[in-house]
Amino acid sequence: MAKKSITFTVNGKEVSVDAAPGEMLVDVLRGKLGLTGTKVGCREGECGICSIILNGKLIASCLVPVMKADRGTILTIEGLEQNGEMHRIQKKFIEDGAIQCGFCTPAMVLAGKALLDENPHPTREEIQLAISGILCRCTGYQKIIKAIDSASQAGELR
Amino acid sequence: MQAQEIVAYQKDMEWEEYLVPGSLDEALEMLDRYRGAARVIAGGTDIVPAARKGAPGIKALVDITRIPGLDAISLDGETVKIGPLVTHTEAALSGLIRKRGMALAEGASRLGSPQIRNIATVAGNILNAQPGADTLIPLLALDGSITVRSRQGERSILLADLFTGVGRTTIDSTKEIVTELSFPALGKGEASAAMRLAKRKTLVLPILAVAVVIGTDPGRKTFTRVRIAAGPVATTPFRCKTAEEILLGSPIGEAVIRKAAEEAAKAANPRTSLIRGTSEYRKAMVAVLVERGIATALKRLEESNG
């Protein structure tokens, strides 16, 4: 399998990697770029744990061949913190106790970010829909919904 | 030892080439070059899990998502046209589709999860040909068509003539590429609705999906157009023709709608399934969903005053 060099912007930085045609985006992010904040669950799009934001859209990175990300823009959980300060959504997850085991947290935070970027003041139903593709096996959904809601009410998002 | 386990878990996909054509002609040439061993990928949400489970013989993927001009939703005369790269999210939110074929927007809004809908294309959902597919049942009720191009030329097929079995169509996906989906835009006096019965709202296949399209005379006295589709209740997406015939031309009323719904249930032949429930239950639910679908479409007509 001939490797190919691809280039994309990850968390604001342009990155080039050599990748094989069969590699999936989640593996390149974790294995080649060391961005292990993105977790791997089912590998078939059922659990949403590997969710990241690609070109402004929340996607399951286990389903996306890395070649699809060529020249794209990626945001992972590591990209939310700026100048040592956490993103408002992350702060609200902590304040509202929306983290239990933590395994779904990166995906949930990014789902909240993708939602609030498009819809700064969502209803409870819209928040539920936005996180509906991610399983939290601690079943801590209520606090997660509350944290995203708190973030939406906490003024301008960065 | 530990490293080995990780490698096994991270197994790459089997394809040796990932091709990114800049035009349809180039994409068709690539398919041709691989003589059946190449597949088209758009969103990839069907082909990637299938390949992971060992769908054999895929040597190359041809990614058509960088080909310009394939992502539009437009009204051409009185036909709604949907490009092959239109995603479920885009179809669900499209003002044009919501106004002129609401059932399709509803169906698109229910597939998979937000993450899946953001990349999965409607064309892919149709071509995957599962008999209860969320956009397929509405598009069948809307008298939809699919247009494909090969190196020999272009052809259009009515969805009603497309399916030959579970996951099977008359389209050869190793030689042909979808260029368009289309359906006659619903107009004055017409409305549609899609109903779905499932264990939960997200990331679950439907126990049943039903779509109805109705048209009435200006005085809203009689049905002048009726289409009812349901799935999965047979090996292919199913049109409830006997039910349609009962309603067509008949005065609008609860009794005749119930009779048609019961006929639809009689004609449907759902399997007993561990995931989806017993055949008896699902047959009974066909009647319920058809009745609700028609009631919903009639209510939409009232509300739109159309």
Q: Residue A97 belongs to a domain with what CATH number?
A: 1.10.150.120
Q: Interior CA angle at B261 toward B301 and B185, to 5°? A: 35
Let me know if residue A54 belongs to a domain.
yes
**Considering only CB atoms, which chain B residues are within 8 Å of A68?**
44, 63, 65
Using CA atoms, how far apart are residues A147 and A98, in angstroms rounded to an integer? 6
Strand order, beta sheet including B190-197: B190-197, B208-216, B223-231, B238-239
The residues in A 6-35 lying below 8 A from B, measured between CB atoms, are 20-24, 27, 31
Domains of chain B and CATH, by start = 14-65 (3.30.43.10), 73-184 (3.30.465.10), 191-301 (3.30.390.50)
- In the block, tokens 């310009």 appear at B68
Residue B211 backbone phi and psi in degrees, to 5: -130, 140
Q: Are B223 and B216 in contact (CB under 8 A)?
A: yes
- Is the pLDDT assigned to residue B238 strictly greater than 50? yes
- What stretches of chain A adopt beta strand conformation (E)? 4-10, 13-19, 51-54, 57-60, 73-75
**Considering only CB atoms, which chain A residues are within 8 Å of B115?**
45, 48, 51, 58-60, 133
**Considering only CB atoms, which chain A residues are within 8 Å of B13?**
21-24, 65
- The contacts of residue B287 (CB under 8 Å, 6+ apart) are B258, B261, B262, B264, B265
Q: Are B242 and B263 in contact (CB under 8 A)?
A: yes
Do A68 and A103 reside in the same domain of the chain? no
Do A69 and A100 reside in the same domain of the chain? no
* Residue B6, pLDDT score: 46
Let me know if residue A82 belongs to a domain.
no
Let me know if residue A125 belongs to a domain.
yes
- Is the pLDDT assigned to residue B5 strictly greater than 80? no
Cβ distance of A133 and B114 shorter than 8 Å: yes
- Is the pLDDT assigned to residue A4 strictly greater than 70? yes
Domain final residue pick, A14, A45, A77: A77
Full domain range(s) for residue A149: 88-153
Q: Residue A71 belongs to a domain with what CATH number?
A: 3.10.20.30
Parallel/antiparallel/unpaired status of strands B60-63 and B177-184: unpaired
How does pLDDT run across A36-80, given as a tens digit for each residue? 999 999 999 999 999 999 999 999 999 999 999 999 999 999 999
Best probe of the B interface among A126, A132, A148, by most B CBs < 10 A, is: A132
Let me know if residue A27 belongs to a domain.
yes
Do A68 and A108 reside in the same domain of the chain? no
Q: How confident is the model at residue B9 (pLDDT cuts 50, 70, 90)?
A: very low
Let me know if residue A83 belongs to a domain.
no
How does pLDDT run across B177-199, given as a tens digit for each residue? 999 999 999 999 999 999 999 99
**Higher per-residue confidence, B58 vs B156:** B156
Nearest chain A residue to B14 by CA distance is A22
- The contacts of residue B234 (CB under 8 Å, 6+ apart) are B131, B268, B269, B270
* Residue B8, pLDDT score: 42
Cβ distance of B15 and A24 shorter than 8 Å: no
Q: Look at residue B186 and give its three-state secondary structure.
A: coil
B215 burial type by CB count under 10 A (0-12 exposed, 13-18 middle, 19+ buried): buried
B44: nearest CB among A1, A51, A64? A64
Percent with pLDDT over 70 in chain B: 96
Do A70 and A101 reside in the same domain of the chain? no
Question: Token pair for residue A90?
Answer: 């992350």
Measured between alpha carbons, how far is residue B156 from residues A108, B177, B282 in Å? 42, 12, 33
**Considering only CB atoms, which chain A residues are within 8 Å of B202?**
132-133
* C-alpha count within 13 angstroms, C-beta hemisphere, residue A30: 18
Do A69 and A11 reside in the same domain of the chain? yes
* Residue B11, pLDDT score: 64
Do A13 and A65 reside in the same domain of the chain? yes
How does pLDDT run across B247-268, given as a tens digit for each residue? 999 999 999 999 999 999 999 9
Cβ distance of B18 and A65 shorter than 8 Å: yes
Q: Is A1 on the interface with B (CB under 8 A)?
A: yes
Let me know if residue A158 belongs to a domain.
no
* Residue B128, pLDDT score: 95
Domain final residue pick, A77, A96, A116: A77
Q: Of all helices (H) and strands (E), which one includes residue B288?
A: helix B279-304
Do A73 and A23 reside in the same domain of the chain? yes
* Residue B14, pLDDT score: 82
- The contacts of residue B46 (CB under 8 Å, 6+ apart) are B120, B124, B128
pLDDT-wise least confident of A129-138, B142-151, B167-176, B269-278: B269-278
* Residue A156, pLDDT score: 60
Using CA atoms, how far apart are residues B103 and B190, in angstroms rounded to an integer? 12
Do A108 and A66 reside in the same domain of the chain? no
Cβ distance of B113 and A132 shorter than 8 Å: yes
* Residue B152, pLDDT score: 96
* Residue B3, pLDDT score: 46
Cβ distance of B119 and A63 shorter than 8 Å: yes
Q: How many CB atoms lie within 10 A of CB A30?
A: 20
* Residue B7, pLDDT score: 41
Do A92 and A73 reside in the same domain of the chain? no
Mean pLDDT over the full length of chain A: 95
Nearest chain A residue to B114 by CA distance is A133
Q: How many CB atoms lie within 10 A of CB B240?
A: 28
Do A108 and A59 reside in the same domain of the chain? no
Q: How confident is the model at residue B72 (pLDDT cuts 50, 70, 90)?
A: very high
Mean pLDDT over the full length of chain B: 94
B16: nearest CB among A1, A31, A133? A1
Question: Token pair for residue A40?
Answer: 């791997």
How does pLDDT run across B93-150, given as a tens digit for each residue? 999 999 999 999 999 999 999 999 999 999 999 999 999 999 999 999 999 999 999 9
- Picking from B142, B139, B252, the residue whose alpha carbon sits closest to that of residue B187 is B142
- Picking from B237, B229, B234, the residue whose alpha carbon sits closest to that of residue B210 is B229
**Is the pTM higher than 0.90?**
yes
A31: nearest CB among B10, B15, B52? B10
Domain count, chain A: 2
Q: How many CB atoms lie within 10 A of CB A97?
A: 12
Percent with pLDDT over 90 in chain B: 89
Domain final residue pick, A56, A77, A98: A77
- In the block, tokens 């997660």 appear at A144
Do A125 and A68 reside in the same domain of the chain? no
Let me know if residue A110 belongs to a domain.
yes
- Is the pLDDT assigned to residue A2 strictly greater than 70? yes
Average pLDDT score over residue span B40-64: 90
B114: nearest CB among A24, A65, A130? A130
How does pLDDT run across A17-40, given as a tens digit for each residue? 999 999 999 999 999 999 999 999
Using CA atoms, how far apart are residues A129 and B76, in angstroms rounded to an integer? 33
Do A19 and A44 reside in the same domain of the chain? yes
B13: nearest CB among A22, A31, A130? A22
* Residue A1, pLDDT score: 63
- Is the pLDDT assigned to residue A157 strictly greater than 70? no
Q: How confident is the model at residue B4 (pLDDT cuts 50, 70, 90)?
A: very low
Q: Is A72 on the interface with B (CB under 8 A)?
A: no
